[in-house]
Copies of this chain bind each other. A is one copy, B any other.
Amino acid sequence: MAYQKFETEITVRPDDIDMNNHVHNSKYFDYVLAARYDQMIRFYGMSMEQFIARGFGWVVSGCTMHFKRSMKLGDVAIVKTQIHEVRTNGVNVLFEIVRKETNKICVDGIFEYTMINLQTERSEIIPDDIIQKYSI
């Protein structure tokens, strides 16, 4: 099964720029987080707030990122994410960050999210209804 790819636009802010006049590497990590947060609401029908209200949270347990081209102030990032695999206690999410003007990939990679119980802060098996919502 192939999961759908969703997109979120993020306008680069001046405080994202580092001493090399490029978007600072660690900000791309934050762009992926922001995109997934947005996409939970718009596409998965379950906002982070609703998720938290059920006592669950997502933590990033691992990531691999390839920095291919730099972005600059004035650029708009399109962050594309797509579930690669649903695990019993998490999801692996592929991402691409594309510069809107050129449509070229600047950063890509994969995030490994783990679902936790906010009380215990330990990983938990994802309930079926949430797997359903993510199976698009």
Contact = CB atoms under 8 A, between A and B. Distances in A.
Max chain B C-beta neighbours (<10 A), residue from A24, A60, A61: A24
B66 A61 contact: yes
A18 B17 contact: yes
A19 interface: yes
Interface stretch (A26-34, A82-90, A96-104, A126-134): A26-34
B73 A19 contact: yes
A124 to B, nearest CB: 15
A120 interface: no
Contact of A37 (B63, B70, B73): B73
12 contacts: A14-B18, A14-B37, A15-B27, A17-B18, A18-B18, A20-B57, A25-B60, A26-B30, A37-B73, A49-B73, A59-B67, A61-B67
